[in-house]
Structure 1
Amino acid sequence: MRSSFILLAAAAVLAAPAARADRDDHHHGHGHGHGHGKHKEEYWDGNCKVERKWKHGEYEEKRKCKAPERVVIVQPQPQPQVVYVYPPWMHRQHNEVTYVPQYQPQRVVTGASYCNSETVGQVLGGVVGGALGSQIGKGNGRTAATIGGAIAGVLVGGDVGRRMDAGNQACVGQVLEVAPVNHRVQWVEGPSTYVVVPARAVMRQGTYCRPYTVEVRGPYGTQRSNGTACRRGDGVWIAA
């Protein structure tokens, strides 16, 4: 009995170091970067992503950095100012448009036609401004009668001219008289829409003339015509 106890005690003494060695191996195998274990961690350092690895006792670190964000400030672009180029017989000063003295229209002949569109008067009045603009399209008084509001003869030729009555042709004359270069003027009369775009005036044999484009859109399609009209001394526009 005594001999058995001695044998068991001896076995326990021999087993204790082995168990302790196993625990030590287990601890070193799974520790933080020691022995033969693996470990990985990731974190951000500023704009860089850092990745650290421990493997079989070796240490490795990788950094992947993003380019710093750029803040681009876009300055708003100023709106372009509209510059009106008026025909040479018109003079603008301090938002007032007046006739150059030598081109002040004379009294219009009796029986002339007048522009019958309020829209034309409003558009041109807004462009011209001042006292002259307030008179455009009213159809009464010497000033209104001579601001392109009267015509004599056929102003617009061809099929387009035949589709326009005397009042609408007078509106074309009114546009030619005061509208700036390449300024688009549009109005509606009944089922038709009229568009007139005057070009830059040129001097011909002592008289100013303006090329123009006129367009008529109606139930039966669209027709366009290019022509030139010349300005008489009384402000009446006639076909060149």
Structure 2
Amino acid sequence: MTRWELPETHALVETAFGAAQLKLARESIRSLVDREHYASYHFREASRLTKDFERRHLKDGFLLEIYTQQGERKRLAFEQYIIKASAHAVASVQSIHALPDILANAIYLASGRNLLPNSLAEHEIALPSVVSALTTDTNFCSLAPLLTKAQSGSHWRHLAALTNLSKHRSVVRASLNEDLTGLRANHRELHFQSFERKARYFPAISVQSLLEPEFLRLATLIVEVGHELNVCLRRIAV
């Protein structure tokens, strides 16, 4: 799929709703791009730190060796590494989790919904309310079914629970998991630990397995929504 032509969107929004509205919409659209970049950056950094720690301290050994008397130096290095890698992993999760609501805000503003008499209060603008509002808008209703897909990924519930638990109660830490069976493709992987939220159990999962599918799914969906937004705007930007 071709990229979302942002300059065209900006021009169409300004033509349809004016410069002040463009300024509002442009900030949310830019934030979509920023959050995608942040998520990707933090994921790459977590991976880079893991590879660097392995290269420096585990090249010819096992993770358990850091807990021996002879492994004190490695253990200190591991503690520093895991704090940094965990921070990047959690930050990547949070940026991915933010994408659906930022997308909803971007579409709400780019479609001029805030200019209508029955507009939502600022704190009410979120994915479900925007989908509901668009459903009855003859000019932009085709965007509603696309937006409903934003939180429908196979790992979305896990990612959302991890984000909210880490934000509101306790951080779900990442750990370096070592496969001793030889059955896994990757000998070592950075894993999010298992946790419970709202009486539901979420098992441990590799950072890559959780983040990569949801990031790619949302990145593709955002472009699809952007294309459809431009289609809708072209019909009214006269």
> TM-score normalized by structure 2?
0.19
> TM-score normalized by structure 1?
0.18
Name the structure with the higher helix share. Answer: 2
